[in-house]
A = this chain, B = another copy of it.
């Protein structure tokens, strides 16, 4: 009965909840670019104020990078830690946005109402689903449920450099019975999901150095080595004709999927053609002996996320540049170790360098993959809550993304994490025109109310 009142309150207050989200989306909290440092700070302040308004004891907590927001409520009952992040991805290429990424708007589309703007899906819209569920609970019950700690990060999109030290220093304060993480998606627009497998990440930036200055190809073209040619040649060897990564030992620590999990995934009847078709593609480009779902959830990858060198402006310049650059990342699975993979990659790359070239690897870092234990009864409780809200059996799924926080909760705080989110495949996270469906926002808030009711 009281749950129904909370759900009704959520329905009635949706316009105000939307306005609050739009306000948060207007703050350009791009964590990877130092130019937006003050904006990240402002987003943290906004969240502290909002959490205090609904009864949390909230504070902005300094780190060497962007601040954390930590809020507490309650002293008895089951203790839940909720995690989200208030920082967002850069917005380039700006010319592909239909509107200012930080002037968000509710728009009517053929697929229903959406909230358009950078961070709407990743992760401001998602983290606000939980905060709004708490707000409506408080409105109905006069108090927040059980014992809740909210932990919001501002560096998720830039490698979370302060996260581990902060968790270590504040382990006693943050440790709870279970962690809830809202930074993932639905399996499909009708099927809610709890993620139980996450890929890890290893990444670095490469610079190949050749001549001691830029050269004119009229004078040096032929005898002088071109570092772009070297970079292209080596990176062109990164995959074989079957889509497999060629670095020696790359697959050594990759485990095959247990038959039961493979079977469950097959039952999901994932729409491979639709998944690629939505973004204008048709042929799976990964390992040719794997299904697309395996390629995303349970297989590692090597990707060139950025490349640059020489003259890239308007017109033409017949230059042989002194250096060429690339940003590389690897998605990791099972027990793959990011330091081992980075070392193998560097060794593989360096071994292919011609004389006269040197290579520099910087910003080398990463995070492990994680596999959750679903033996904790909280998983089944949450799955039932989601199934009830959406009217469709919720699925245990994998995720191609790297959300290292889940592994950290296990390693540093000794607690399990449940990843529940309401994003959709067409949210254009990290891309121009990012959006979050109004249905994701609305039913996301209702889902958390149901999960809280089951867990508390």
Interface residues of A (CB under 8 A from B): 31-34, 89-90, 92-93, 96, 157-159, 185, 199, 201, 203, 205, 210-226, 228-229, 231-239, 272, 275-276, 279-287, 290, 292, 295-296, 299, 301, 303-321, 324-327, 329, 331, 354-356, 363, 399-402, 425, 428-433
Contacts and interface: CB of A to CB of B under 8 A. Distances in A.
Contacts of A228: 235, 304-307, 326
A210 B283 CA distance: 11
Given A214-B431, A222-B292, A402-B218, A312 B307 contact: yes
A373 to B, nearest CB: 22
Nearest to A199: B218
A203 B316 contact: yes
A400 to B, nearest CB: 5
A432 B311 CA distance: 13
Contacts of A402: 218, 318
A231 B232 contact: yes
Given A312-B325, A316-B329, A325-B312, A222 B301 contact: yes
B316 A312 contact: no
A233 B239 CA distance: 9
Nearest to A158: B315
A174 B222 CA distance: 35
Given A33-B314, A217-B305, 7 more contacts: A31-B315, A159-B316, A223-B275, A228-B326, A306-B321, A307-B324, A311-B327
Nearest to A204: B316
A272 B431 CA distance: 49
B229 A235 contact: yes
B316 A327 contact: yes
B354 A229 contact: no
27 contacts: A32-B316, A33-B313, A90-B317, A92-B311, A96-B213, A211-B280, A213-B279, A214-B432, A215-B430, A217-B305, A218-B400, A221-B400, A222-B285, A222-B295, A222-B296, A223-B281, A223-B295, A228-B326, A229-B303, A231-B232, A232-B307, A282-B355, A305-B311, A306-B319, A306-B321, A307-B310, A317-B327
A301 B217 contact: yes
Contacts of A310: 304-307, 327
A296 B320 CA distance: 13
B315 A33 contact: yes
B90 A210 contact: no
A299 B223 CA distance: 10
Contacts of A235: 228-229, 232-233, 236
Nearest to A34: B314
Nearest to A291: B223
Contacts of A315: 31-33, 90, 158-159
Contacts of A218: 199, 331, 399-402
A92 B329 contact: no
A331 B199 contact: no
A68 B98 CA distance: 42
A307 B309 contact: yes
A213 B434 CA distance: 11
A430 B97 CA distance: 35
A32, A282, A325, A425: most-surrounded residue (chain B CB, <10 A) = A32
B329 A285 contact: no
Contacts of A308: 307-309, 312
A276 B225 CA distance: 10
